[in-house]
Structure 1
Amino acid sequence: MSSKSGQTGKSGRREPAPAPAEEVAAPPSAEPAEPAVSDDDVLGGPSPAGRDEFTDDTGRRWRKVRGPLHPRLGRRLAARADAFVIGEGAGERFRHVASGDRLPAWRAIEDRLDSPLTPSYRAFEFRSAEGMTLLYVEESC
């Protein structure tokens, strides 16, 4: 006696029929999948200031630690951070600030942090998986 659900096995119970080949899932890969990077994830996508993570124009992935920052903390990071980037045009273009130019650049924007004046700026602290610190300052027009 046969059944639609399968045949009788050694135990005397009916065993389910094997699934057709097109329904069998592929075995999981032993290698972890790389995270997908969307167009919104790199320069030209939504503002880094409004996201928890972003990939900069050099390919480094950054995770937001805190922000908007108080001006004193921003000044401290301008001097000590591994990288300082100004996101011009609401983050559409990245301007990397050289280490010797960081404090003068900070002084030029400090009085416009969270200001109603145009352009205004907001500062954020980001960290990379390697432990690097980024001071990201976004310009709003």
Structure 2
Amino acid sequence: MPKKQKRAATFAEVVAALPPATEESGGSYVGTPVTARGFTDADGCYWRLARGPLDPRRAKRLAVDADMMSMGTHYDHRVEWCLPRFLPEAERPTAWLEARARFGAADLPVHEAYEFTADDGRVLLFIETHC
């Protein structure tokens, strides 16, 4: 008589046996802020996507008038996660010229501008880079 084969676990049983998920990071940057329609920065402020991609004229105004400007990402050690890189005021003009030159570019990288808002009324010009 053949030996009885051990029954394989079903997918549902495997998932049920997994330990509960834990949040090891304080940030909530999943994918890109644009696809997630928002993100929480390292200081705990939630930025919600307001509009975009923006017309270059609106983006140019925000490069000057927005409370914050972000271009690219950086690794934030406080939350151990990659988050949008907020630019110091002195870097904004140069970053704007670089971004403007890459709006609708035929080759990579391509930049697109988006407007995010915080609950306290602050506005963020977010330049997304597609590689």
Is the shorter-chain TM-score for this pair beyond 0.5, marking a shared fold? Answer: yes
Alignment of 1:49-68 (within 5 A): 49-68=34-53
Cα RMSD, aligned residues only: 2.2
Within-5 A mapping of 1:1-141: 42-43=28-29, 45-88=30-73, 92-141=82-131
- CA offsets, 1:61-111, max 9 Å, x none? 01111000111111110111111011349xx55222111221221011102
Q: Check the 8 A contact 1:78/1:135 in 2, yes or no.
A: yes
Larger Rg: 1
Q: Determine what percentage of the aligned residue pairs are the same residue.
A: 33
Which of 1 and 2 has higher RCO (CA within 8 Å, sep 6+)?
Answer: 2
Unaligned runs of 5+ in 1: 1-36
**1:8 counterpart residue number:** none
CA contact (8 A) 1:42 1:56 kept: yes
Structure 2 residue identity aligned to 1:112: R
Taking the aligned partners of 1:93 and 1:117, their CA distance within structure 2 comes to: 25
What letter is aligned with 1:121?
H
The answer (yes or no) to whether the contact 2:73–2:83 under 8 Å persists in 1 is yes
Choose between structure 1 and 2: higher strand proportion: 2
What 5-or-longer segments of structure 2 have no aligned partner? Answer: 1-22, 75-81
2:7 matched to which residue of 1? Answer: none
Poorly superposed stretches of 4+, deviation over 6 Å: none
TM-score by length of 1: 0.63
Mapped to 2, the partners of 1:93 and 1:133 lie a distance apart of 17
